[in-house]
Structure 1
Amino acid sequence: MEDLSEIFDIYAICACCKVAPPSEGIKNEPFGPRTFRGLGNNGTLPWKCNSVDMKYFSSVTTYVDESKYEQLKWKRERYLQREASGGSDDTLQPGDNTNGSGHTVGMGDDTTKLQNIVVMGRSSWESIPKQYKPLPNRINVVLSKTLRQEEVKEKIFLIHSIEDLLLILKKLRYYKCFIIGGAQVYKECLNRNLIKQIYFTRINNAYPCDVLFPEFDESQFRVTSVSEVYNCKGCTLDFLIYSKVGEEVDGAASNGSTADSGSENCDKVECGAPSCSVPNCTLPNVTTTRQEKWGKSAPACQWQKNNTDAEEDDLVYFSFNNKVGEKNPEHMHDFKIYNNLKIKQHPEYQYLGIIYDIIMNGNKQGDRTGVGVMSKFGYMMRFDLSQYFPLLTTKKLFLRGIIEELLWFIRGETNGNTLLNKNVRIWEANGTREFLDNRKLFHREVNDLGPIYGFQWRHFGAEYTNMYDNYEDKGVDQLKNVIHLIKNEPTSRRIILCAWNVKDLDQMALPPCHILCQFYVFDGKLSCIMYQRSCDLGLGVPFNIASYSIFTHMIAQVCNLQPAEFIHILGNAHVYNNHIDSLKVQLNRIPYPFPTLKLNPEVKNIEDFTISDFTIENYVHHDKIPMDMAA
């Protein structure tokens, strides 16, 4: 016998709780795979109601993907050709007899609509509230040796045995078949190797139970997926997927199959599979063990696609609780080019995707500047500095300004005039008389920005007076310590540079946005992770990505290492309302390949770098997009 669970796509879906001990004082069993096994009590579910599980059950058993049906149909037809050459495979229509010991109660639904089959025993059928019978948008099949036709008013298939079920599966047009209970039906299907996967809900509470999910050989199934954890009325739950061992594409036969994959009697059938959808496929026509069982030869990528399709369905199932639609749908039509892209693997799409998510799903808030923002909390981006320099290409960035500001930080400077004299206006708005007065820094000279980034990097803990005083050998030189640790204690977990000095915050023109970074050394390579508390996606973050990437390159060079990775953690990520239209333009641009960064290899001291020591090669970019700074 072939592996019928694979051919006819038969699955089990169930929910089980912990079993309450029969009396007080009896200890629970040790926790393990059998902790969750309670299936029923007094003819119904042990728990009153769990709307989350019911939503998941409905999502799994009603979901179909028409685009995948031709593959399923082809697979089943090839099996039927082998089983009975020339046998009829007409689709079973409403009112047709099953030609088995069971019978059909006429189905009024349009059977041309692709649906899943749900199979249940009599007790499970009778436990369904009348208003939900038959389960909508599914082909309902009831398996019972005692239920009679005249007792059933609903339009269902009524069968008497598993053999009847298999006959129906050979005749009906359907997507997948789900065994939904009860215990005896699960047990028989498991014992007969008729379950491909088990969709298993774990209800994390204990209830009295008189029906348990049947024991099954866990060496025959393994957990392949685990969902998020949900809560329904104070009870947590999650969802597992058990997959039958041996379902891999690598040709390992299903353990339960009795087919001899190497049998010389296995008839070979001309491959009639739908055309392979993998572009420019160059994989050879091979016959794997699983293909031999079905008697066909097809491109190897075709079998990989079958497995991928199943995994895609599982991802859809696990997305059952996602909110439908975006929070701010009024912006949807402004992202036509962005939304038309099916695959967005260019690393710049990490940044662009965050902006899209904030505009579409962000929270509308007021802010310190009065401009207003859309914001969300918590993102991460990763950039491979060994492969490219992540200078955004969807708009032209002011690279000279980024480098000059970084060198200014490294020197420990706080005088904004130094940057203004080089026509770098990044800090101009924060050094005005009005801005400083709003910060209650009435005594501070214009463009004296106070103990900001550079001061904390080089003089942490020193008393700040003004932008002119000499702070040499005052406070803690964090940057010097970082370089010392990287050179002498590269495995240290304390290689940290911090700009967030609580004592000095009120003296700063602007408290630091990028507040802390940590360095990691491995295999002669240096990585940097940076946490940014406040993230202006339109103006600030593009500069921050480039700046810390350059910084990592510089420290790597002076420590005789190679740059590896820059990881950017974003806390309060926001888009200012006056940047939204400009960012929509940016998101509809296609990124170019990132450029590369070259440093003057002669520089060995972090303080010796000058603007002329940096070379950006092959920076291809779109036009500049003007945005006003919110200050």
Structure 2
Amino acid sequence: MNQADQVYLDLCQYILAHGTKKEDRTGTGTISIFGHQMRFNLQEGFPLLTTKRVPFKLIVSELLWFLKGDTNLRYLLQHNNHIWDEWGFQKWIESDEYNGPDMTNFGLRSQQDEQFNAEYQEQLNLYQEKVLHDDEFATVYGDLGNVYGKQWRSWEGADGKTYDQILYIIEEIKRNPDSRRLLCNAWSASELENQQLPPCHYAFQFYVNNGKLSCMFNMRSNDVFLGLPFNIASYALLTHLIAYECKLEVGELIYTGADVHIYSNHVEQIKTQLQREPRNLPTIKLNPERDSIFDFEIEDIELVGYHPHGAIKAAVAV
């Protein structure tokens, strides 16, 4: 049994057994615990869960989107990545320019009402097309505000200057690998009103030891079924990319979560996943011809040997 799936499934079992039922912003309801940590040895394989299929290309395109400093959905839609669509869609339907059918609480209503779901899908498709092909619309309603890409690559300081936190980390690792300041922060109190979704994975820090690069990332809030498998793989990939740039091996990935929860409409899916036997972890292969991680495209990152169980569908709580 691979260690990555095991620690994840252990967490799921613990939440179901010991979690507290809580209400939440989305109105869905959760089973929640407060405070949890998991460790993944990246030398043992790439921690992409095998007890359900996790779409790796979506993880790659989202991470590259962050690293480009982009905050507009167009790049993701161009790569058939729809994991952020609902946040931009919500921005549009809450605007004065929207004049379609009432989409209030579309996340819950689309699960409960087939007729409404058909209307919702129609409006969502319209939104996606407009972001892809209407520059003016995309500028206003495709942009999610100062989310991860902006904070990672163009942090605005109190001094009025902007700071590239990712570039700083890379340069500092090369200059002073023993530094205890290899840290990126995406949480800015002054920016919260300008973000369609305040950062869930709000900070991460790197650590170099014996030629290996480790990373610890912190999450204030974590959807265990849909979000966490993405987050684990995304930060594992980021660690591989930074290690590549700095000519290091990979070490550990450490996850620290605060409000760690299973949504009430994901419980049956979690139970299905818990019945599955983990399989061997895959590995990843990076294009050795790329000089910088900022030059990487999706095709430069290859997943090797991934043979998971089938996907398990679940609705996103918005």
TM-score bin, normalised by smaller chain: 0.7 to 0.9
1:498 counterpart letter in structure 2: N
Contact residue 32 and residue 259 of structure 2 kept, 8 A: yes
In the alignment, structure 1 residue 566 sits paired with structure 2 residue 261:
no
Contact residue 436 and residue 509 of structure 1 kept, 8 A: no
Match of 1:460 among 141, 152, 155: 155
- Give the SS at the match of 2:3: coil
The one-character-per-residue Cα deviations of 1:205-228 (angstroms, maximum 9, x if unpaired) are: xxxxxxxxxxxxxxxxxxxxxxxx
Deviation, 1:437, is 3.2
Match of 1:552 among 236, 239, 244: 239
Match of 2:12 among 355, 375, 379: 355
1:490 counterpart letter in structure 2: P
Pick which of 610-619 and 443-452 moved more: 443-452
Give the aligned partner of residue 430 of structure 1: 87
In the alignment, structure 1 residue 522 sits paired with structure 2 residue 217:
no
The one-character-per-residue Cα deviations of 1:22-54 (angstroms, maximum 9, x if unpaired) are: xxxxxxxxxxxxxxxxxxxxxxxxxxxxxxxxx
Gaps of 5+ in 2: 96-136
Q: Give the distance between the partners of 1:554 and 1:421, measured in 2 at CA.
A: 23
How many residue pairs end up in the alignment?
275
- Give the SS at the match of 1:622: coil
Give the ranges of 4+ consecutive aligned residues of structure 1 lying more than 2 Å apart after TM superposition.
344-347, 433-438
Q: Give the distance between the partners of 1:362 and 1:623, measured in 2 at CA.
A: 27
- Give the SS at the match of 1:573: strand
In the alignment, structure 1 residue 618 sits paired with structure 2 residue 313:
no
* Counterparts of residues 60-75 of structure 1 (less than 5 Å): none
Deviation, 1:436, is 7.2
Give the aligned partner of residue 398 of structure 1: 55
Match of 1:587 among 271, 274, 277: 274
Contact residue 2 and residue 278 of structure 2 kept, 8 A: no
Match of 1:493 among 180, 186, 204: 180
1:513 counterpart letter in structure 2: C
Gaps of 5+ in 1: 1-343, 464-472
Give the aligned partner of residue 285 of structure 1: none
- Give the SS at the match of 2:243: helix
The one-character-per-residue Cα deviations of 1:401-443 (angstroms, maximum 9, x if unpaired) are: 10000000000001012211221001000101457739xxxx9
Match of 2:76 among 419, 431, 434: 419
2:61 counterpart letter in structure 1: E
Q: Give the distance between the partners of 1:448 and 1:575, measured in 2 at CA.
A: 28
Q: Give the distance between the partners of 1:545 and 1:527, measured in 2 at CA.
A: 13
Give the aligned partner of residue 110 of structure 1: none
Give the aligned partner of residue 482 of structure 1: 169
In the alignment, structure 1 residue 371 sits paired with structure 2 residue 28:
yes
Q: Give the distance between the partners of 2:304 and 2:3, measured in 1 at CA.
A: 19
Q: Give the distance between the partners of 2:92 and 2:3, measured in 1 at CA.
A: 39
- Give the SS at the match of 2:252: strand
Q: Give the distance between the partners of 2:276 and 2:187, measured in 1 at CA.
A: 36
- Give the SS at the match of 1:386: helix
* Counterparts of residues 114-133 of structure 1 (less than 5 Å): none
Give the aligned partner of residue 629 of structure 1: 316
- Give the SS at the match of 2:43: coil
Q: Give the distance between the partners of 2:20 and 2:235, measured in 1 at CA.
A: 28
Give the aligned partner of residue 265 of structure 1: none
Q: Give the distance between the partners of 1:435 and 1:532, measured in 2 at CA.
A: 27
Relative to structure 1, the CA distance from residue 525 to residue 346 in structure 2 (aligned partners, 3 Å threshold; closer, same or farther) is closer
Contact residue 2 and residue 279 of structure 2 kept, 8 A: no
| TM-score for both structures, normalised by structure 2 | 0.83
Q: Which structure has more helix as a fraction of its residues?
A: 2
Deviation, 1:625, is 0.3
The one-character-per-residue Cα deviations of 1:162-187 (angstroms, maximum 9, x if unpaired) are: xxxxxxxxxxxxxxxxxxxxxxxxxx
Give the aligned partner of residue 38 of structure 2: 381
Relative to structure 1, the CA distance from residue 373 to residue 603 in structure 2 (aligned partners, 3 Å threshold; closer, same or farther) is same
Deviation, 1:598, is 1.2
Q: Give the distance between the partners of 2:228 and 2:4, measured in 1 at CA.
A: 14
Contact residue 42 and residue 250 of structure 2 kept, 8 A: yes
Q: Give the distance between the partners of 2:298 and 2:91, measured in 1 at CA.
A: 32
Contact residue 182 and residue 205 of structure 2 kept, 8 A: yes
Q: Give the distance between the partners of 2:8 and 2:287, measured in 1 at CA.
A: 29
Greater relative CO (CA pairs within 8 A, separation 6+) = 2
